[in-house]
Amino acid sequence: MGVRIEFNRAAAKQKIADRWDGRVLAPLSEQILKDCNQYCKEDTGALIASSQAHSRPREGKLIWRTPYARKQYYVIRTASAVINPGARWRWAHHAKSVHLKDWQKLAQKLYNGG
């Protein structure tokens, strides 16, 4: 008498993808956007507002869309510390260096249904 175990890899992958898309992606993306915007250059608030209007958290896409967004992202000169003292160039990269472990913990918690 033996034991036979069958594993449906495609079904398992689909279940993981469904759980990720259904439980994790949108709230995780929203938290990442919030954390990134802590370091976003700010003058009039239009750059941060553009990220809130154009990002697509359900797709995991964070977008800063103004005519000057790309330039501001890569220009090393910092923004006025009066408006946003935490502003940095490459703000999303900086946020990742600061918050990655928190994002990983949040993703795991959301994935597990917590």
Question: How high is the pLDDT of residue 19?
Answer: 83
Phi-psi region of 15 (alpha: psi -120 to 50; beta: other; left: phi over 0): alpha
Q: Say what percent of the chain tops pLDDT 70.
A: 94
Question: How high is the pLDDT of residue 83?
Answer: 83
The structural domains of the chain, with segments of one domain joined by +, span 20-111
Q: Say what percent of the chain tops pLDDT 90.
A: 63
Residue 66 burial (C-beta neighbours within 10 Å; 0-12, 13-18, 19+): middle
Q: Determine contact, residues 88/6, Cβ cutoff 8 Å.
A: no
| pLDDT top residue among 80 and 109 | 109
Question: How high is the pLDDT of residue 10?
Answer: 92
Question: How high is the pLDDT of residue 22?
Answer: 87
Average the pLDDT over 24-36 and give the result.
97
Question: How high is the pLDDT of residue 78?
Answer: 60
Q: Tell me the C-alpha distance between 58 and 71, whole Å.
A: 26
Per the DSSP assignment, residues forming a β-bridge with 61 are 56
- Report if pTM > 0.75: yes
Q: Determine contact, residues 41/72, Cβ cutoff 8 Å.
A: yes
Q: Tell me the C-alpha distance between 33 and 49, whole Å.
A: 11
- List, for residues 65-101, the tens digit of each pLDDT value: 999 999 999 987 765 666 888 999 999 999 999 999 9
Residue 41 burial (C-beta neighbours within 10 Å; 0-12, 13-18, 19+): buried
Average pLDDT, the chain: 91
